[in-house]
Structure 1
Amino acid sequence: MSQSTLTKTRASIDALLALSRQTQIVLAKAIGMPNYAVSRRQASTPWQFDEADRVAAHFGIDPLELYAGADVACAAFARRHGLPLLAETFAAASGPTEVDAAPAEPVAAAPAPPAAPDNDLPSYVTTLATPALCVLCGLPATTALEGFPQHVSAETCAQAREAAQGAAATAAAAQTPEPASVTSTSAPHLPAGEAASPRQHQAERQKPRPRQPRAETHAKCVAFLRRNVQNALQSAGGDVEEAAAYLEKKAIPHAMELIDISRAQGRYDVIAYPPLPDHIYKKPSKSKPNQVWEARPNWRRSWESLPLAPGTHLVDELDMNGAYLSALKTHLPLGEPEHTTGHIDTQALKRSGAHLVTPGEWRHDHLPNPIGSRDEPGPLWIMEPTLRLLNRLSTPKYGSLCAPPEIHESWTSGSTEHLLEYFRTALTEVRAQAIQEGDDLTENYVKSVYSKFVSTAGTSSANHSLVRPDWVHAIRSQAFSNLYGKALKAHAAGLHVVRVSGTDELHVIGDWRSVFDEGRGVTEVKRKSSSEIIISPEA
């Protein structure tokens, strides 16, 4: 079966990068795209024609040669740059191909990628039939982690790098047409006749990868956001409205680039996304939602049920600041979800995902139902934050307000609460400083970045760089769970909760300043308005 044009184009780009000894970062800068964009085009989202044209121009070949596949593209690259034997070297590695028949002098061949151990590989590591470029070092790798081409350890990356540098030095120093030998590396070096044991392979894989210092990562994220605002103002000649319009338009690509910066050398790559169960996350039609119930609250307490003395009482409408920004700290699933039936302790197993549950009966009029306003009884699909909220409310610490939910089945994978932590903390810091300085432009820009990220990271046509509807549902569910937690705190402190709605609306009667800190920070609340109610004496 013939390959698609997109598959051929991706193969051409991978081969050209290896042949020219360039990384995806170099290519991205050359064609005017963010660093993360080339990796996403090669892994998931399709190349646009104008982008592919720029790639072809960068390598000095015709776009049609780029679309034709790796053999044709590499042969064209070699001819354009007067390196016919470079094409022959590639042909020797990939099989016979139609290139210029004229004989030419051989040059040093590119080093073979370090061999990965075939035995005792963990479940998240797969062996690639065809070597692909490692997302960390940009050199060929024979393994993939979480579905993404990558060496299994920092040592393997270092060996590939050393081998590539050695081959380049040999080719540059060659003064005679004598063919250079093909060098290969293997890890680790052992005495003659001694084979590496599975335990040694495992020790190599478990060595920590070099990480960027936390303070450095945070500083780069903050500097990126501030630089965007400064550049927008500079380009607009100081016109704040024009700068605001530009930043609003760039909020989504800036959010994705900020994630790329915040995940520098991180263990999990958020570019790749696994297949998800369609019966949960896929919308049956444009007018109908998918099966996930996010537990959005929309509750109001009747005045008659309030235990208040007759007279006039003040109702304060409180607003939770940066609700979605705070909700970015939640347990996000990472890999491909696995199906289980019956009870699962996701907290102990460090897993997250979607769960089909039957919630316990709710019999309290003074507090909203934690699953929100739902008219249909029976099982429903909820996300991890909602499940954890229901489990908390069933414990004696929270007064055993309901029975624990009955879990029928789950789709979960390993999770982490810190995947978006640098992303969140950078936005929080820049927002706080903007509020302190009265910088409305920066404050609104920060809000656009995180709110548009949450609204488009699922299946939105406005953001093709990340397709994780499970993340969007988890973040939104976390925002509603956070609001419910504020309502519980108010009730426990003796306030009367009279309304809980959306992600940030809480109405209470009583001295709320003794319970919450007032302000505009993400850990504070502000009063939006107040109204009076009159409780009439009983007849």
Structure 2
Amino acid sequence: MSDFDAIDSLLAAVGPEAGLPTMERRQELRERARLSKAQVARALGVSPSTVAGWESGRDPSGDIRTKYAYLLDGLAAKFTDETQPEAVPVAPSAGDPGEPAPEPAEQAGPAEDGDGDEVETLTVPEPCVLCGSPARQRVEGFAQHLDPADCRTTAPPVTAAAPPAKAPVPPEAVGAGRPPARTVRPSERSRGPARRAFQEPSGPVDLIGQAVRGALAEHDGDVEAATAALLKRAIPDAMRLLDETRKGARYDIVAHPWIPEVLRKQTSRGADQVWEARPKWTRHELPPGRHEVTALDVNGAYLSALKTHLPLGQLEHSTGFAHDRRRAGVHLITPPAWEHEAVLPNPIGNRDEPGPLWVTEPTLRLLLRLSGPKYGWCEPPEIHESYTSGATENLLEKFRVALKDARDTAIEQDDEVTLEYVKAMYSKFVSTMGESNYNRELYRPDWMHIIRSQAFSNLWLKALKAHEEGLPVVRAMGTDELHVIGDWRSVFPEGRGVTEVKVKDTYTAGTDAGTDAGSDDSSGEEGD
């Protein structure tokens, strides 16, 4: 791109932003058009959770805002000549003649039923796709009754005059002598077509397969061109995969919470105040003698690090020395002295400045573990203040497993296109969830730091395992590089799986009198 093209892009971005209707109006227009959030998301190239955010408190920006405004203006134009439909009360079911119609929902919004399908509560009832009567819920884009008792498809036709009405039965007499009736959810058959045998696989992993097959078909089987196209779309595809794997989840993700100053960049090109404890350590002196050193490569380091304690909601400030293991976030600590530099790296990495520093949850938990009664390798860190939220270790677990399964299959089938695509999905997912223009659907710099720190902590724990098994550790770098002396195959399984390691290099070092282990540097970039 030439200098003038860059200037034109800047000038184009300075113009006034497209106007948007109110949040309530946005949802109303979508529902009147009988469009699901998933349909709108696909048309705009975002995730359904992003569309939900636009209808509940956030505004898009840039080109996406322009496209969204264009869609809403088009929907509004279609409904200009129509009168606003009035809310139709849901009639009581035939089996409960005395029950009043349910009150209209105070606020429309997504929910989830017990089977994990997204359920939307409608502000204006729509005809049920099964029986045609007014329904207040939409499942997978179709309006329908959640309770079969409300759905009139099974009601027998009336062929004779109705019998005289009986006197109303007192509520306490209903069901006397038998257990109360339980609410039955609609079966899969009542929701749509039956599941068929011998069909193509579906679900999160198949989203990856569909993308790869589509890219190869679009580029006439050109592997390099298809791979390049997939890498460019890795971020939005990762967000769609995340949404797919979040269906039926117990926890909601707060995608754009308030962020404390310690997590904000100090300058436009600078860093925030959080220290990730990246290992960059080489042993100062080897044991006497000549040794064969094996440089091991840890597979899928960031993929494994997705299993970590992540804060669910907005971070809240607290002070004091106590650590609540049910919460996670960032902490201002004074780290303990580390007196084992000769055999293992400092758990907080290479840091020259003394005094307090902000660390993430994995770093703090590692220090607390090493200061506990099992190891007693250092004093407990001194915690001054924290920004934390309620947390879970399984927030991204289904997302991680879907990526891992696709990666394992790609390795088994020698499918380098899928392997590179999957690697780009999880690595870019981690690197762009902070202050990045490439991912506006998720703004969680706290997650980014925590996942990275978990990868560094995982490597440190592998070094500890090698040390405990009698393997002298020579070097630990970044997320994936560990150099050891001895029979490492008795400690670590070899292979390309995420729980395995592979040989990156072997070399000889040391003298009879003992020697410096070397000071050459390596990038520490993650490999597969």
3-state DSSP class of the match of 2:27? Answer: helix
**What RMSD over aligned residues (CA atoms) do the two structures have, in Å?**
3.6
Give 1:495's aligned amino acid. L
Distance change in 2, residues 1:404/1:34 (3 Å): closer
Distance in 1 (alpha carbons) for counterparts of 2:281 and 2:434: 27
Shift of 1:533: 1.2
Is residue 366 of structure 2 the alignment partner of residue 389 of structure 1?
yes
Aligned to 1:225: 208
Is residue 71 of structure 2 the alignment partner of residue 54 of structure 1?
yes
Aligned to 2:246: 263
Shift of 1:273: 3.0
Shift of 1:509: 1.2
Alignment of 1:423-502 (within 5 A): 423-502=399-478
Distance in 2 (alpha carbons) for counterparts of 1:244 and 1:477: 29
Alignment of 1:96-245 (within 5 A): 108=88, 114=103, 131-134=107-110, 136-140=118-122, 162=145, 220-245=203-228
Is residue 283 of structure 2 the alignment partner of residue 301 of structure 1?
yes
Distance in 2 (alpha carbons) for counterparts of 1:538 and 1:442: 46
Contact 1:495 1:511 in 2 (8 A): yes
Distance change in 2, residues 1:166/1:77 (3 Å): farther
Shift of 1:39: 2.5
Aligned to 1:503: 479
Is residue 315 of structure 2 the alignment partner of residue 337 of structure 1?
yes
Is residue 495 of structure 2 the alignment partner of residue 513 of structure 1?
no
Is residue 320 of structure 2 the alignment partner of residue 378 of structure 1?
no
3-state DSSP class of the match of 2:292? Answer: strand
> Could you say which structure has the higher helix fraction?
1
Aligned to 2:79: 77
Q: Write the deviation string for residues 133-190 of structure 1: whole angstroms up to 9, x where unpaired.
A: 335422247xxxxxxxxxxxxxx96999649999999xxxxxxxxxxxxxxxxxxxx9
Aligned to 1:288: 270
Q: Write the deviation string for residues 449-496 of structure 1: whole angstroms up to 9, x where unpaired.
A: 000000001111111110001110110010000000000000001111
Shift of 1:532: 1.1
Give 1:51's aligned amino acid. Y
How many residue pairs end up in the alignment? 427
Q: Write the deviation string for residues 377-423 of structure 1: whole angstroms up to 9, x where unpaired.
A: 111111111111001111232x2110111111111111111111111
Aligned to 1:182: none
3-state DSSP class of the match of 1:84? Answer: coil
Moved more, 362-371 or 8-17: 8-17
Contact 2:255 2:444 in 1 (8 A): no
Is residue 298 of structure 2 the alignment partner of residue 320 of structure 1?
yes
Distance in 1 (alpha carbons) for counterparts of 2:348 and 2:454: 12
Aligned to 1:414: 390
Shift of 1:271: 5.7
Q: Write the deviation string for residues 359-388 of structure 1: whole angstroms up to 9, x where unpaired.
A: 111111211000000011111111111111
Give the TM-score of the pair, scaled to structure 2: 0.73
Aligned to 1:272: 255
Contact 2:307 2:400 in 1 (8 A): yes
Moved more, 368-377 or 283-292: 283-292
Distance change in 2, residues 1:113/1:273 (3 Å): farther
Q: Write the deviation string for residues 49-90 of structure 1: whole angstroms up to 9, x where unpaired.
A: 133323433x261xxxxxxxxxxxxxx6140xxx3353xx48
Contact 2:145 2:151 in 1 (8 A): no
Contact 1:110 1:167 in 2 (8 A): no
Distance change in 2, residues 1:166/1:509 (3 Å): closer
Shift of 1:115: 6.5
Give 2:433's aligned amino acid. A
Shift of 1:529: 0.6
Q: Write the deviation string for residues 111-139 of structure 1: whole angstroms up to 9, x where unpaired.
A: 998468xxxxxxxxxxx7xx343354222
Shift of 1:28: 3.8
Distance change in 2, residues 1:289/1:509 (3 Å): same
Give 1:435's aligned amino acid. I
Contact 1:10 1:42 in 2 (8 A): yes
Contact 1:252 1:452 in 2 (8 A): yes
Give 2:447's aligned amino acid. W
Is residue 26 of structure 2 the alignment partner of residue 13 of structure 1?
yes
Contact 1:139 1:161 in 2 (8 A): no
Moved more, 478-487 or 282-291: 282-291
Distance change in 2, residues 1:298/1:343 (3 Å): same
Distance in 2 (alpha carbons) for counterparts of 1:478 and 1:31: 34
Contact 1:40 1:465 in 2 (8 A): no
Give the TM-score of the pair, scaled to structure 1: 0.71
Moved more, 42-51 or 291-300: 42-51
Distance change in 2, residues 1:32/1:288 (3 Å): closer
Distance in 2 (alpha carbons) for counterparts of 1:163 and 1:517: 49
Distance in 2 (alpha carbons) for counterparts of 1:388 and 1:41: 36
Unpaired runs of 5+ in structure 1? 62-75, 91-107, 117-127, 142-155, 170-189, 193-203, 212-217
Unpaired runs of 5+ in structure 2? 1-16, 92-100, 112-117, 124-135, 153-169, 173-182, 189-200, 516-528
Distance in 2 (alpha carbons) for counterparts of 1:225 and 1:236: 17
Aligned to 1:252: 235
Distance change in 2, residues 1:419/1:509 (3 Å): same
Moved more, 28-37 or 219-228: 28-37
Contact 1:251 1:452 in 2 (8 A): yes
Aligned to 2:166: none
Shift of 1:6: 5.1
Give 1:453's aligned amino acid. F
